[in-house]
Every structure is written in C-alpha cells, then in structure tokens.
Amino acid sequence: MLPFARVTVIGLGLIGSSILRAVRSHMPTVRLTGHDADPAVRETVRRLDLCDDVTDTPGAAVIDADLVILCVPVGAIAAAAESFAADLPADAIVTDVGGSKASVAEALRAALPDATIVPGHPVAGTEHSGPEAGFATLFHGRWCILTPEDDTPEAATERVRAFWEKLGSNVEIMSPKHHDLVLAVTSHVPHLIAYSIVGTASDLENVTQGEVIKYSAGGFRDFTRIAASDPTMWRDVFLNNREAVLEILQRLTEDVTALQRAIRWGDGDTLFNLFARTRAIRRSIIEQGQDDERPDFGRSHE
C-alpha cells in the first residue's frame, strides 16, 4: 500500500534530491515531479534523471500531486507556497523539511489557508549541498519529526508518517514549539558554535590559517564539517528559531563560563567530573544507531 501515488518535490537540493532518489528506490511506481527555482538545478536533475518530470513553474509541478514536499530554506517557504497556491489540488497534502517548525507552520498556513498541512523535519543531512550531493539512503534509520496542527486530520498525519517510514525513517510527532527547542539543542546551537569556532580560528593574528589547517586533526576539523553546511539554509534557521536558540545559547554560555572558572582556579575535579559523564551519551547514541560505531566516525586511516 503506497501512502501517495503522485509526489511533488519543490526545491531540489541535498534534501529534495535525496527524497526523489529515495522514493525511486523504495516506491518505484510513484509518479515523481520536481521543481526548483534555479534553472541550472532543474537542468541537473533532468540530466541525472531523478524524477519523471521536472517542471519550469511551481504551479505545473503541483497540479496533479497528492503530496507536495517543500524542500527550500525556511526563509523561502512562504514565497514557495504562495507560488503554487492557486494550482494546489484540494485533496493534496502539503509537508516540508524545514529545520524550524513554529514559524514554518505559520507561514504555510498563511500562504495556503485551506490546505491540509503536515509540517515535517527529517533530522538528516550532510555538509554538502545541491542535487548532486543527494543519495537514496540519507533517511535510513534517522528520525523524522512531524508537527501537525491540533485540527489536522489524523489520517493525513498518518499518511505522511507512512511515507517517511517507507523511506527508512522513524517518525515522531510533537508540537512545533517543542521541536524548535529540541532542535536548538541537538542541531542549531551546535551549528552556531561550529561556525563560530571556525570563524574565531581563522581571525587570529598570532596563529596562521595554515597552522589551523595543519593541526586540525587535534579536534578542530570535526567542527569544520558542519561549518561547511549551506549558509542560506542556516541563516534562515537562526532567524526563524530565534527564541529557542538564544535560550539554549544562554545555558551553554553559563556552562562554558563555569568551566573557564574551573580552569582559571585549577579545579581539576570539576573538569574531570564533566569529562567522565559525557562519554555515556556517546555510547547511547551509538547503541541507538544514531552514529557510526567505528572510531573516529569511520574516517579512513591509511
């Protein structure tokens, strides 16, 4: 039983193109349509033959869809939804993959007042961008969070859940506000800190950029991966999840200040106690299949 027969993806970057590939791989009879605002991206997706049809307008992409998935940066979601609003079939379900959910839910509701909307967020990705970076297994074993409105028909939410499960994901349902807080912790603040530390390191006067690169295997290189993620997507996430990001950042700053004080006063016990308990979380992440169990993420050591 396929949850949807005609799926349209709007925005064909890493996530959108991965969805195309994953649907082709897991639900090969689904009719797949794609659209991207950038003609070069459309051309690439046609050349790679990732879907049945790539349309030049968003309206043409949705006209026959029973599921429309918005895969654009969260700051572009309102305009993207408006661009196909007039052509959206009455019985189509609209979802998205945006990294913040409260503001996205509002934007989608305003742009599509009568549509059935089930906002979503697959917690998956890599540091690469664009249609050539996608792959069919990106969502395997990852969690996809759905944030339906209070009056969303349960049948609609369950169809979107079934769709993501077909792509290999686990699905969880929560409120947009709780999503935004959880993701501020597990994704947004880590990205902000990674971007920041890479910026700080490259702005120092007494350590050269060449030195930072040479000795990056001491830990720094781990941060550069997520600091290589798509700038537009991440700018929009921070502007759209301001409250939760600032709250978590404040907590982190307090905790870093306490460690700073421990270092200044030579308080080794405080440092040791923290460093000893953080190992357990890594162990749980690996046990629950959310990271590679091989040392060093499975990096090559030839």
* Maximum Cα–Cα distance across the chain: 67
Taking only Cα atoms into account, the Rg of the chain, rounded to an integer number of angstroms, comes to 21
Nearest approach, Cβ of residue 289 and a second copy (Å) = 10
186, HSE (Cβ side, Cα atoms, 13 Å): 14
52 is written with which tokens?
């049945």
Query: Contact letters (x/-) for a second copy, 272-291, by CB under 8 A?
Result: x-xxxxxx-xxxxx--x-xx
Cβ proximity to a second copy: between 54 and 194 the closer is 194
Measured from the CB of residue 74, what is the shortest distance to a second copy in angstroms?
A: 12
153 is a contact residue toward a second copy (CB under 8 A): no
Nearer to a second copy, 56 or 292 (CB): 292
Which residue type is seen at 186? T
The answer to whether 299 contacts a second copy (rule: CB under 8 A) is yes
CA distance 105 to 156: 15
In the complex, minimum distance from the CB of residue 119 to a second copy, in angstroms, rounded to a whole number: 16
76 binds a second copy (CB under 8 A): no
Q: Which is nearer to a second copy, 60 or 212 (CB)?
A: 212
d(C-alpha 178, C-alpha 244), whole Å: 9
Shortest CB 244 distance to a second copy, Å: 10
Spatial contact of 41 and 66, defined as CB atoms under 8 Å apart: no
56 SS3 class: coil
CB of 79 to a second copy, least distance (A): 15
Q: Is 211 one of the binding residues for a second copy (CB under 8 A)?
A: yes
Q: Using the rule CB under 8 A, is 202 a contact of a second copy? A: yes
From 157, 156, 162, 116, select the one nearest 3 (Cα to Cα). 162
Q: How far is the CB of 167 from a second copy (least distance, A)?
A: 13
- Kindly report the length of the chain: 302
163 vs 234 by CB, closer to a second copy: 234
CB nearer to a second copy: pick between 159 and 191: 191
Pick out residues in 221-250 that bind a second copy (CB under 8 A).
221-229, 231-232, 234-236, 238-239, 242, 245-246, 248-249
Q: Half-sphere exposure of 164 toward its Cβ, with a 13 Å CA cutoff?
A: 29
Asked whether position 173 contacts a second copy by CB under 8 A, the answer is no
Number of residues that bind a second copy (CB under 8 A): 112
* Span interacting with a second copy, options 2-10, 64-72, 84-92, 179-187, rule CB under 8 A: 179-187
85-104 binders of a second copy (CB under 8 A): 99
What 3-state class would DSSP assign to 279?
helix
Does 79 contact a second copy by CB under 8 A?
Answer: no
Q: What is the DSSP string of 213-276?
A: HHTGGGTHHHHHHHTTS-HHHHHHHHHHSHHHHHHHHHHHHHHHHHHHHHHHTT-HHHHHHHHH
